[in-house]
Structure 1
Amino acid sequence: MPDRKFLVTFSPHDRHPETTNKVMMTVVIAMLPIIANSIWYYGYYAVKGYVLTTLFCIGFEYLFDKISGRPVAIKDNSALVTGLLLAMNMPAAAPWWTMLVGSFIAIVVSKQVYGGLGQNPFNPALVARVFLLIAWPVEMTSWVKPSPIIHGFLFDTVSSATPLGTLKSDIIAHGHVVTANLATYTDQIIGNVSGCMGGDGAVFVLIGGLFMMNRKVISWHIPISFLGTLFAFTGIIWLINPQRTIDPFLHIVSGGAMLAAFFMATDYVTSPVIKRAQIVFGIGCGLIAGIIRIYGSYPEGTGFAVLIMNAFVPLLDKYMRPLSFGEVKK
């Protein structure tokens, strides 16, 4: 009989055609409606923000890999995604140096020091966002009034409070919601309100999120449990005391709730693998975000909520793991 040769390799033996690069590019494509909406309302400032944060993030990724002797990993496009998400979490008129510092925190401090992609416990863009908010609160809360580019690609920045910021100020000053100061549902949905570049415009975030679901890049478990819990919690408080907060639908379309639910909380590295753990993760995010929004000093709480729940991911995956075939529950 002829000699037979057997090829012995390590797992996995069944390889999926999707690669990290392809998955990240799918996420980038899903972000395009949000980016286009940002440019429509913030013109030059949005373009500057997206360009600088992506260049800074890719640059820091390249430099750290070179200095540490690791293979350069910029081709996996994870730094590109982080840069775009960081820009979406910043005010349109944020100084360039905050984008530089934020990119360093996101790539080097939040990702590379842990070993690179797949090793970081917390979402890099959110770590950078929270760090900048605490370190430079004035620069990170200097919101500008949106102005469609049909009025000019470069416009004078006019200070304007975010809807959630206005809500918090009214409650502190008057002890109740001032209905006349609330943004309309339409403005909230299309993003014609002051805020982070990618945090508003719920319809465009939803388009991107549904696209990722259709491509099976993310599943429904985290976004639905996140937004459903936020809706339920704020709805209960609103029914008990409508003067304490806005209605639950406005909570869903305001601020960064939609962006966090579809693009931040669903990050592969910092979210659970097991489906039922993902539901618990989403519930935790929605509950914490609602508590901070209504009872905390910050008007927005989604970023803090996701980071807090990131810390519980190892426990959720460990204790909610289904039993293997033949395994006896102890």
Structure 2
Amino acid sequence: MTSEPLIVSGSPHLHSGAQSSRIMRDVLIALIPAVLGATIFFGPRALLVILITVTSCVASEYLIRRLWHRSNNLHDLTAVVTGTLLALNLPVSLPLWMAALGGFIAIVIVKECFGGVGQNFVNPAITARIVLLMSFSSAMSVWNRPFSYLEHSDVVTSASYFEALQSNLPLPSLGEMFLGIRSGSLGETSALALLLGLIYLLYRRVITPLIPVVFVGTVGLLSWILGGDPLYQMMSGGLLLGAIFMATDYTTSPTTPLGQGIFAFGCGLITVLIRFYAALPEGVSYAILLMNIVTPLIDRFTIPRAFGSERRRA
């Protein structure tokens, strides 16, 4: 007979062994190709923007938790991931103080004000990007040409894919779209880099392919129905970046496979509606944000009822 005490706790009693720090570390590894691509196409300033947003996120989390007498949880790397994703959604030319402000908004306003890790109901990086876009639309809409940092020219900006499409300007080839030799935010241009990150996340079982495939597939199918080029639409804007790294966020996406499918389809539908019918050229960020908000409702109707419990009345 053992003298060790029995530990009595609530279910579930099985643990996968996965920890937040390990998951976030895998996400950071998956983002390395996008970071390298941003540095190659847009120069050393891309690394500086990433450094500023990451530093802002980490410092904001540390200081606000000290101020509110909460335990320090920087070791889980969520602030680092948020800062990196935010930077990859920004143009390389953005003033650094705006990038730092975005990090503060993502951590303090979106994350910590709602309780910290696992309590925020919208994606912090996406929300911070939208706030910056609405507050500083001019600075957030300046796109540098790839490799312009190597040129000795005063004209280094060009139109994004959607701006070129609306203005009947020459479009990048599909090969350039795939490799990332085009204007755009730091992490959105290279489909190749983002797909390499997706492969790694699937290999490590950090995410499942359901949300990215349904999200991107919905955009491609509806774009084709509406007369657009599905390949261009699937590789343009921040679609792959959003579908792979932000729509799959554990906290702000549904729990069940059915719910995730509904969520991803809704993201794709809203993205297409904004791209084709709204005044905004791009809709991925807004689509993810809106579907984040309805995620609790999706969970309510898709999580199976526990055996023996009464059905909740509407």
TM-score (norm 1): 0.90
Deviation per residue, 1:258-283 (Å, 9 max, x gap): 01110010011100011110000000
How many angstroms does 1:253 deviate by? 0.5
Cα distance in 2 between the residues matched to 1:33 and 1:120: 28
Question: For residue 125 of structure 1, what is the aligned residue in structure 2?
Answer: 125
1:315 and 2:304 are equivalent in the alignment: no
Deviation per residue, 1:27-54 (Å, 9 max, x gap): 0000000000000011111111111111
Question: For residue 75 of structure 2, what is the aligned residue in structure 1?
Answer: 75
Cα distance in 1 between the residues matched to 2:2 and 2:26: 48
How many angstroms does 1:24 deviate by? 0.2
Question: For residue 187 of structure 1, what is the aligned residue in structure 2?
Answer: 176
* Counterpart code for 1:204: A
Cα distance in 2 between the residues matched to 1:129 and 1:30: 21
SS of the residue corresponding to residue 299 of structure 1 reads coil
Cα distance in 2 between the residues matched to 1:15 and 1:305: 33
How many angstroms does 1:12 deviate by? 4.0
Cα distance in 2 between the residues matched to 1:140 and 1:96: 12
Among 210, 213, 224, the residue aligned to 2:199: 210
How many angstroms does 1:134 deviate by? 0.6
How many angstroms does 1:122 deviate by? 0.5
Question: For residue 249 of structure 1, what is the aligned residue in structure 2?
Answer: 231
How many angstroms does 1:301 deviate by? 0.5
* Counterpart code for 1:319: F
Instruction: Please say if residues 216 and 239 of structure 2, whose CA atoms lie closer than 8 Å, have aligned partners that are also in contact.
Output: yes
* Counterpart code for 2:28: V
Cα distance in 2 between the residues matched to 1:211 and 1:2: 45
Using a 3 Å threshold, how does the CA distance of structure 1 residues 234 and 325 change in structure 2: closer, same or farther? same
Cα distance in 1 between the residues matched to 2:196 and 2:3: 57
Question: For residue 16 of structure 1, what is the aligned residue in structure 2?
Answer: 16
How many angstroms does 1:216 deviate by? 0.9
Cα distance in 2 between the residues matched to 1:260 and 1:29: 17
Using a 3 Å threshold, how does the CA distance of structure 1 residues 324 and 253 change in structure 2: closer, same or farther? same
Question: For residue 114 of structure 1, what is the aligned residue in structure 2?
Answer: 114
How many angstroms does 1:93 deviate by? 0.9
1:294 and 2:283 are equivalent in the alignment: no
Instruction: Please say if residues 56 and 101 of structure 2, whose CA atoms lie closer than 8 Å, have aligned partners that are also in contact.
Output: no
How many angstroms does 1:73 deviate by? 1.1
1:271 and 2:253 are equivalent in the alignment: yes
* Counterpart code for 1:219: T
1:225 and 2:214 are equivalent in the alignment: yes
SS of the residue corresponding to residue 91 of structure 1 reads coil
Question: For residue 280 of structure 1, what is the aligned residue in structure 2?
Answer: 262
Identical-pair percentage: 36
Question: For residue 58 of structure 2, what is the aligned residue in structure 1?
Answer: 58
Using a 3 Å threshold, how does the CA distance of structure 1 residues 47 and 327 change in structure 2: closer, same or farther? same
Instruction: Please say if residues 145 and 157 of structure 1, whose CA atoms lie closer than 8 Å, have aligned partners that are also in contact.
Output: no
How many angstroms does 1:96 deviate by? 0.5
Instruction: Please say if residues 111 and 124 of structure 1, whose CA atoms lie closer than 8 Å, have aligned partners that are also in contact.
Output: yes
Instruction: Please say if residues 148 and 156 of structure 2, whose CA atoms lie closer than 8 Å, have aligned partners that are also in contact.
Output: no
SS of the residue corresponding to residue 111 of structure 1 reads helix
Cα distance in 2 between the residues matched to 1:75 and 1:314: 28
Deviation per residue, 1:177-199 (Å, 9 max, x gap): x3x62211011111111110001
Instruction: Give the alignment of 1:143-158 within 5 angstroms.
Output: 143-147=143-147, 151=150, 158=156
Instruction: Please say if residues 26 and 201 of structure 2, whose CA atoms lie closer than 8 Å, have aligned partners that are also in contact.
Output: yes
Instruction: Please say if residues 255 and 303 of structure 2, whose CA atoms lie closer than 8 Å, have aligned partners that are also in contact.
Output: no
Question: For residue 166 of structure 1, what is the aligned residue in structure 2?
Answer: 164
SS of the residue corresponding to residue 281 of structure 2 reads coil
How many angstroms does 1:165 deviate by? 1.6
SS of the residue corresponding to residue 138 of structure 2 reads helix
* Counterpart code for 1:191: G
Instruction: Please say if residues 164 and 300 of structure 1, whose CA atoms lie closer than 8 Å, have aligned partners that are also in contact.
Output: yes
Instruction: Give the alignment of 1:41-52 within 5 angstroms.
Output: 41-52=41-52
Instruction: Please say if residues 38 and 187 of structure 2, whose CA atoms lie closer than 8 Å, have aligned partners that are also in contact.
Output: yes
Cα distance in 2 between the residues matched to 1:3 and 1:64: 44
What is the RMSD of the two structures over their aligned residues, measured on CA atoms?
A: 1.9
In structure 1, the gaps of 5 or more residues are 171-177, 239-245
How many angstroms does 1:10 deviate by? 4.1
Instruction: Please say if residues 40 and 148 of structure 1, whose CA atoms lie closer than 8 Å, have aligned partners that are also in contact.
Output: no
TM-score (norm 2): 0.94
Instruction: Please say if residues 111 and 124 of structure 2, whose CA atoms lie closer than 8 Å, have aligned partners that are also in contact.
Output: yes
* Counterpart code for 2:109: V
In structure 2, the gaps of 5 or more residues are none
Question: For residue 136 of structure 1, what is the aligned residue in structure 2?
Answer: 136
